[in-house]
Structure 1
Amino acid sequence: MTRAVLCLMLPLALAGCGENTARHRITNALTARGMAPAPAACMADHLVDRLTMAQLRKLEALKGTGRDLPSMLMALGRIDDPQVREELVVAAGTCLLVGR
Structure 2
Amino acid sequence: MRFAILPLIAAALMLAGCATPEARLRTGLNNAGLSKAMSACMAERMVDRLSLVQLRRLSALGSLKEKRLGDLSFDQFLHKVRALKDPEILTVTTSSAALCALR
Which interval holds the TM-score relative to the shorter structure? 0.7 to 0.9
**RMSD of aligned Cα (Å):** 1.9
CA drift at 1:55: 1.1
Q: What is the one-letter code of the residue matched to 2:26?
A: T
CA contact (8 A) 1:51 1:84 kept: yes
CA contact (8 A) 1:19 1:48 kept: no
Runs of 5+ consecutive residues of structure 2 not aligned to the other structure: 1-6
Q: What is the one-letter code of the residue matched to 1:80?
A: K
CA drift at 1:34: 1.5
Tell me the number of residue pairs that the alignment of Structure 1 and Structure 2 aligns.
Answer: 87
> 2:4 maps to which residue?
none
Displaced runs of 4 or more, over 6 A? none
- TM-score with structure 2 setting the length: 0.72
> 1:55 maps to which residue?
54
> 1:85 maps to which residue?
90
> 2:31 maps to which residue?
32
- TM-score with structure 1 setting the length: 0.74
Runs of 5+ consecutive residues of structure 1 not aligned to the other structure: 1-5
Greater mean deviation of Cα atoms: 22-31 or 60-69: 60-69
Percent identity reads 29
CA contact (8 A) 1:61 1:75 kept: no
CA drift at 1:74: 2.2
Q: Does 1:75 align with 2:74?
A: no
Greater mean deviation of Cα atoms: 65-74 or 49-58: 65-74
Task: Write the distance in 1 (CA, Å) between the matches of 2:79 and 2:54.
Answer: 18
Higher RCO, 1 or 2 (CA under 8 Å, sep at least 6)? 2
